[in-house]
Amino acid sequence: MSTAVSAKHSDAASLVSNTIGEITRHIRAHELGPGDRLPSEAALSRQLSVSRTVVREAFSSLAAMRLIDLRAGRRATVAELDYGAMSLVIEHGVHTEQITVQQIYDVRRTIETRTAMLAALRRTADEVERIRTHALAMRENVQQPEQVMEHDLAFHHEIAKAAKNPIFSLIVGAFERVSRQTWPIGWRTRPSDAEQLEMIQIHIDLAEAIETGDPQSARDLMARHFDESVKALLAAGIA
């Protein structure tokens, strides 16, 4: 696998990409925020002297990146930050064998040891509650892997949120689609009840460290969690 990651020079002077530029410029120039409405397709079509087809494709592209929201009959609106697009990029990388699962774990470890630390420092009572609930729900539903996975994902997500930096949420979210596909593999490498509970216990301990407000301990537990996971994956021959 090559580690080349490029960015095409997007001065591709096609009408559609120019139109995309005009629309983002419009958002910036008018200081639009999430929920604010954009001009209609027909209006932009006239204004930029291109066909509605071109404007539509531009809107469609922006919607694909989740920069705007589109709904039938309604005007396009500026969207809230959303990790959907990044999620697709990562998934694409994995499926085209440009990214390995192990590389994802390394990045997640790097990011999530930080979110755990920050969460321990910045979490609110509500957030602690949600984090702990998910950790405990993992143990309660240990017989239903599907449930365990959902609470596991939500657990990590809530920690990222509690870190109070939306970019961390964005990145953690970006791995969600792929995680949903690789998670069962990791689970299967822990066939005994004891091993499963041990893995879940780390989550519970982590929730407690965040509740106590112990960043060092939260950091270490998250690091251990990922170290164990990678070890399990390697043992299963995923490398």
Partner DNA sequence: TCCGGACAACCTGCCAGACAGGTTTGCCCA
Partner DNA sequence: TGGGCAAACCTGTCTGGCAGGTTGTCCGGA
- Pick one of 20, 54, 104, 160: the residue that binds DNA (CB under 7 A): 54
**Maximum distance among all Cα pairs of the chain, rounded to whole angstroms:** 67
Residue 48 CA to residue 216 CA, distance in Å, equals: 55
Partner interacting with residue 76 (select from a second copy, DNA, none; CB below 5-8 Å by kind): DNA
Provide the residue type at 56 as one letter. R
Collapsing DSSP to helix, strand or coil, 78 comes out as strand
Residue 127 CA to residue 136 CA, distance in Å, equals: 14
Taking CB under 8 A as the binding criterion, the range among 96-104, 200-208, 210-218, 230-238 that sits at the site for a second copy is 96-104
**53 belongs to the binding site for DNA (CB under 7 A):** yes
- Pick one of 15, 48, 65, 223: the residue that binds a second copy (CB under 8 A): 65
Our CB check for DNA shows the closer of 36 and 150 to be: 36
With CA atoms as reference, report the closest residue to 76 among 126, 109, 41: 41
**41 belongs to the binding site for DNA (CB under 7 A):** yes
Our CB check for DNA shows the closer of 76 and 174 to be: 76
**223 belongs to the binding site for DNA (CB under 7 A):** no
C-beta atoms surrounding 43 within 10 Å: 12
**57 belongs to the binding site for a second copy (CB under 8 A):** yes
**27 belongs to the binding site for a second copy (CB under 8 A):** yes
**43 belongs to the binding site for DNA (CB under 7 A):** yes
Supply the Cα-derived Rg of the chain in whole angstroms.
21
Two tokens, residue 98: 């440009």
Q: How many residues bind DNA (CB under 7 A)?
A: 22
Residue 68: in which H helix or E strand, if any?
A: strand 68-69
Q: How far is CA 135 from CA 26, 116, 151, in A?
A: 44, 14, 7
7: exposed, middle or buried (Cβ count in 10 Å: 0-12, 13-18, 19+) = exposed
> Which of positions 1-30 make contact with DNA (CB under 7 A)?
14-16
- Pick one of 40, 51, 60, 216: the residue that binds a second copy (CB under 8 A): 60
Partner interacting with residue 42 (select from DNA, a second copy, none; CB below 5-8 Å by kind): DNA
Query: Contact, 83 vs 168, CB < 8 A?
Result: no
- Pick one of 72, 96, 194, 237: the residue that binds DNA (CB under 7 A): 72
Q: How far is CA 17 from CA 21, 65, 79, in A?
A: 6, 14, 19
Q: Which residues bind DNA (CB under 7 A)?
A: 14-16, 40-43, 50-54, 56-57, 59, 70-76
Q: Which residues bind a second copy (CB under 8 A)?
A: 1, 3-8, 10, 16, 20, 24, 27-28, 32-34, 53, 56-57, 60-67, 69, 78, 80-93, 95-99, 103-104, 106-107, 110-111, 114, 161, 164-171, 173, 176
